[in-house]
Copies of this chain bind each other. A is one copy, B any other.
Amino acid sequence: MDIRMTGIQPNHKNSSMSADSDSLKQSVVEKFGTPCTVVDLDIVENNIANAQQRCNDAGIANRPHIKTHKSPFFANQQLQAGAVGITCQKLGEAEVMFNAGITDIVIATNLIGAARSGKLAALQQQVALKVCADNQVTLTEYAKAACQAERTIDVLIECDTGQKRAGVETPGQARELAEIIDSNPWLDFAGLLFYPLLDTWPQTQAFFDEVSAGLSKLGMSAGIVSTGGTPNFVNLGNLQGATEHRAGTCIFNDRMMMAAGVATLDDCALQVFTTVVSRAGAERGILDAGSKTLTSDQGGLDGFGYIVEHPDAKIIKFSEEHGFLDLSRCQPKPGIGDVVRVIPNHVCVAVNMVDNLVAVRNNEIVDVIPVAARGKLV
């Protein structure tokens, strides 16, 4: 998705240069130093409530993807707001969430390494997981893990309708995998997982209808029919037969979501507080946050983040611990020592860089929340 930055107006709550935000900056600097990744809990709770309401309005169960926050704290907030369960991308994330008491978990990927290592069997023994597959090798691994755990495992078939990532490309392949699942005593067919592009919902409907018809002939049906993605909220309810939606980014939002027109500046809950540490040239400056804080993931946008106080300052490049500012279009220009707040292009990968998030409400620090599932690669 090559989304370009649309015009975003700076005059929002987030952009206030108020005494309140100055006082918060000072508190953050004094307690933690910079760079510091800060999340506003009021905005988070509003975002959680909005996502839940949109699902409720569409009659679709909400199964948020925890890849964005990787924290049981926020997962539990989502469940309390009405989510039916959660989505994870890695087995290690599911372990963290299960250890925090969460039991309704879809893992939305082909797990092969985690199955072979015995980690899948170990967790499946403790909690009935729902896993995904788009091929027979994965199914064989799942059956072995289920046998080892002595508990059958629920499997969703991942279907591709445009992302060209994982997912079978034809309804016939989906039906074949469903038959294999059905014939294996250790596997239970749990449903279908889609991640349509914004404009491939009609194709997704056709794909789903054909799979459904095929399953019907086998006396089977999909219990779960899942769609995904924050930008896809606009399409929620457009797939007849869909039962749940998994969105991640909407809990925090980011510059990509603003550029896609699905979030405003006031919906962006996460900011990286960073200090201007050098102004060696008249038209340029350096931040103490680089790719090891905000990542090199541009998400198809120009530049590397939105600076709340200086929307016309452009982060043109990162080295590992430096952000390169082009200040040529920026008036007034930030001075050395100024702390500025950056909304990342892609919040999911920015959260993944830190062990903790500093939580604030009304510009006061109220908590430090561990990103407990960070670094769970397997």
Enumerate chain A interface residues (CB-CB to B < 8 A): 29-37, 67, 89-91, 109-114, 116-119, 134-135, 137-138, 141, 160, 164-169, 275, 277-281, 284, 286, 288-289, 291-293, 295-298, 319-322, 324, 335-337, 339, 348-349, 352-355, 375, 377-378
User: Do A336 and B138 touch across chains, with their CB atoms under 8 A apart?
Assistant: yes
User: Do B378 and A109 touch across chains, with their CB atoms under 8 A apart?
Assistant: no
With both beta carbons as reference points, the residue of chain B lying nearest to A163 in the complex is identified as B319
Nearest CB of chain B from residue A203's CB, rounded to whole Å: 15
Bound Cα distance from A134 to B285, whole angstroms: 12
User: Do B134 and A278 touch across chains, with their CB atoms under 8 A apart?
Assistant: yes
Most buried by B among A110, A167, A322: A110
User: Do B293 and A296 touch across chains, with their CB atoms under 8 A apart?
Assistant: no
Which residue of B33, B116, B349, B354 is within 8 Å of A119 (Cβ)? B33
For A286, list chain B residues within 8 Å (CB).
Answer: 110, 165-166
CB within 8 Å for A117 and B35 given contacts A295-B296, A322-B166, A336-B137: no
> Taking chain A's interface residues, is the majority helix, strand, or loop, or is none over half, making it mixed?
loop
A-B residue pairs, 8 tightest by C-beta: A34-B113, A33-B378, A33-B117, A110-B277, A33-B113, A166-B278, A296-B297, A137-B336
Which residue of B33, B138, B296 is within 8 Å of A277 (Cβ)? B138
Most buried by B among A67, A109, A167: A109
User: Do B295 and A114 touch across chains, with their CB atoms under 8 A apart?
Assistant: no
For A275, list chain B residues within 8 Å (CB).
Answer: 112-113
For A288, list chain B residues within 8 Å (CB).
Answer: 109-110, 112-113
Bound Cα distance from A113 to B276, whole angstroms: 9
For A375, list chain B residues within 8 Å (CB).
Answer: 353-355
User: Do A116 and B320 touch across chains, with their CB atoms under 8 A apart?
Assistant: no
For A165, list chain B residues within 8 Å (CB).
Answer: 278, 286, 319, 322, 324
User: Do A29 and B293 touch across chains, with their CB atoms under 8 A apart?
Assistant: no
Bound Cα distance from A292 to B354, whole angstroms: 12
The contact sample of 13 A-B pairs, CB cut-off 8 A, is A35-B377, A109-B277, A109-B322, A135-B279, A164-B284, A165-B286, A165-B322, A166-B277, A166-B322, A169-B280, A291-B349, A292-B377, A295-B295
Bound Cα distance from A354 to B30, whole angstroms: 28
Bound Cα distance from A150 to B311, whole angstroms: 41
User: Do B113 and A29 touch across chains, with their CB atoms under 8 A apart?
Assistant: yes
For A112, list chain B residues within 8 Å (CB).
Answer: 34, 275, 277, 288, 336-337
User: Do B336 and A354 touch across chains, with their CB atoms under 8 A apart?
Assistant: no
Bound Cα distance from A36 to B320, whole angstroms: 22
User: Do A337 and B284 touch across chains, with their CB atoms under 8 A apart?
Assistant: no
Bound Cα distance from A292 to B353, whole angstroms: 9
Bound Cα distance from A167 to B285, whole angstroms: 11
Which residue of B278, B320, B378 is within 8 Å of A89 (Cβ)? B320
Nearest CB of chain B from residue A144's CB, rounded to whole Å: 12
CB within 8 Å for A352 and B166 given contacts A110-B278, A112-B275, A321-B90: no
